[in-house]
């Protein structure tokens, strides 16, 4: 559904992307992780037609993003990091305007808006001004707006940034429901547990290059199963173990304070890049 071949993007002498290659299947939920400046947003901007590639090729559902730009853009919906709704319009009016931009007929628009508002649990809020909504409600409305034209692909750029843990998990449930409908989802996030919970495959991006692609489970197992964190000279040092018994034996020999935990996806990212996802 998404195919990227040897993608490069340069701004003057700065090389933001350095030969990205990706194949993402229909219905897959794919997470694209990296620290600030790694090239995540640049990739999404290119795939959604907001920036031009320097060289290489990319396709959405078989349509070249530049040679068949209109067809390619019709394949996707975008949930940006910043909430860009019209605060002075109602929930319904925000969706209605977006449907008009995709040249949807009035009857089709009305039916789709009614369905989407039920889908994101905002049907009781359709006549409220957007500025009256909570942050979580606005996020759900942005997701509904991205789905108005029934896209085959959904780009989620930091979809839960700034939300508390309970609201984040509610958005996660909605994202899973969208995937189960057959939509391909391309996710960027700074919440490593979000990718670990949601994604079927993960790509680690560092300085414009993909350094690893695999399932979260395989990426984590490369480090081990158990981790011990201990404070050492104002830094946290981590030691990894395949078995809990090995970790316990190590603990028995230590005098410093420590924390025993399971290995997570951030451990794998740190091992491969030397950086944190932030």
Please report the pLDDT score of residue 236 as a whole number.
81
| CA quadruple 148, 151, 156, 160: dihedral, nearest 10 | 30
Please report the pLDDT score of residue 257 as a whole number.
76
Report residue 122 as tokens.
């905002």
Report residue 253 as tokens.
């020999």
Q: What percent of the chain has pLDDT over 70?
A: 99
- For residues 33 and 188, is the Cβ–Cβ distance under 8 A? yes
Query: How many whole angstroms separate alpha carbon 189 and alpha carbon 211?
Result: 17
Query: How many whole angstroms separate alpha carbon 258 and alpha carbon 261?
Result: 10
| CA quadruple 171, 177, 183, 187: dihedral, nearest 10 | 30
Please report the pLDDT score of residue 259 as a whole number.
86
Rounded to a whole number of angstroms, the CA Rg of the chain reads 21
Query: How many whole angstroms separate alpha carbon 4 and alpha carbon 116?
Result: 30
Work out the number of other CB atoms within 10 angstroms of the CB of residue 226. 20
Please report the pLDDT score of residue 122 as a whole number.
95
Cα of first residue to Cα of last residue in the chain, in angstroms, is 28
8, containing H or E segment: strand 2-11
**Per-residue tens of pLDDT for the chain, all 278 residues:** 999 999 999 998 899 999 999 999 999 999 999 988 899 999 999 999 999 999 999 999 999 999 999 999 999 999 998 899 999 999 999 999 999 999 999 999 999 999 999 999 999 999 999 999 999 999 999 999 999 999 999 999 999 988 888 888 999 999 999 999 999 999 999 889 999 999 999 999 999 999 999 999 999 999 899 999 887 777 788 889 999 989 888 888 877 778 889 999 999 998 888 766 66
Closest CA to 17 of 207, 190, 158, 187: 207
- For residues 101 and 78, is the Cβ–Cβ distance under 8 A? no
CATH of the structural domain 2-75+151-218, one choice from 3.40.50.300, 3.10.310.30, 3.40.50.720, 3.40.630.30: 3.40.50.300
Please report the pLDDT score of residue 162 as a whole number.
85
**Distances in whole angstroms, Cα of residue 88 to Cα of each of 93, 124, 133, 162:** 10, 18, 11, 22
Exposure class string for 153-178: b at 16+ Cβ within 10 A, else e = bbbbbbbbeebeeebbebbbebbeeb
- For residues 4 and 58, is the Cβ–Cβ distance under 8 A? yes
Burial of 260: CB neighbours in 10 Å, binned 0-12, 13-18, 19+: middle
Q: 79-132 pLDDT, tens per residue?
A: 998 899 999 999 999 999 999 999 999 999 999 999 999 999 999 999 999 999
Please report the pLDDT score of residue 258 as a whole number.
82
Q: Where are the domains of the chain?
A: 2-75+151-218, 89-147, 224-262
- For residues 102 and 147, is the Cβ–Cβ distance under 8 A? no
Report residue 260 as tokens.
């025993």
Please report the pLDDT score of residue 156 as a whole number.
96
Query: How many whole angstroms separate alpha carbon 83 and alpha carbon 31?
Result: 21
């Amino acid at each position: 559904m998404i195919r990227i071949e040897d993608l490069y993007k340069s701004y003057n002498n700065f090389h933001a992307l350095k030969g990205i290659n990706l194949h993402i299947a229909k219905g897959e939920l794919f997470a694209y992780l990296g620290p600030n400046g790694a090239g995540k947003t640049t990739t999404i901007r290119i795939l959604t037609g907001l920036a031009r590639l320097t060289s290489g090729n990319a396709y959405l559902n078989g349509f070249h993003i530049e040679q068949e730009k209109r067809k390619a853009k019709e394949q996707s919906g975008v949930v940006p990091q910043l909430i860009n709704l019209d605060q002075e319009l109602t929930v319904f009016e925000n969706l209605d305007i977006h449907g008009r931009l995709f040249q949807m007929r009035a009857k089709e628009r009305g039916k789709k808006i009614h369905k989407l508002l039920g889908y994101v649990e905002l049907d009781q809020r359709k006549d409220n001004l957007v500025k009256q909504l909570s942050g979580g409600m606005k996020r759900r409305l942005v997701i509904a707006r991205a789905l108005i034209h029934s896209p085959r692909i959904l780009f989620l750029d930091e979809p839960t940034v700034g939300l508390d843990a309970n609201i984040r998990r509610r958005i996660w449930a909605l994202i899973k429901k969208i995937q189960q409908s057959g939509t391909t989802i391309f996710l960027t996030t700074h919440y490593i547990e979000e990718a670990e919970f949601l994604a079927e495959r993960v790509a680690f991006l560092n300085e414009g290059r993909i350094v690893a692609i695999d399932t979260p489970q395989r990426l984590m197992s490369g480090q081990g199963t158990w981790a011990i964190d201990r404070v050492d000279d104002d830094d946290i040092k981590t030691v990894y173990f395949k078995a809990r018994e090995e970790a316990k034996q190590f603990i028995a020999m230590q005098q410093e304070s420590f924390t025993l935990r399971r290995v997570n996806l951030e451990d794998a990212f740190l091992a491969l890049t030397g950086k944190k996802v932030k």
